[in-house]
Amino acid sequence: MIRDTTNKVIETFYGILPYETAVHLANAQKELLHAIGSMIDEQIKWTDLHVAKAHGREALEKKF
pLDDT digits 0-9 by tens, 30-45: 999 999 999 999 999 9
Give the domain ranges of the chain: 18-64
Q: What is the pTM of this model?
A: 0.67
Give backbone dihedrals phi and psi of 60, rounded to 5 degrees, phi first: -70, -30
For residue 58, pLDDT beyond 80: no
End-to-end CA distance of the chain: 44
22 with 10: CB under 8 angstroms? no
Quote the CA–CA distance of 63 and 46 in Å, as a whole number: 11
Quote the CA–CA distance of 15 and 34 in Å, as a whole number: 24
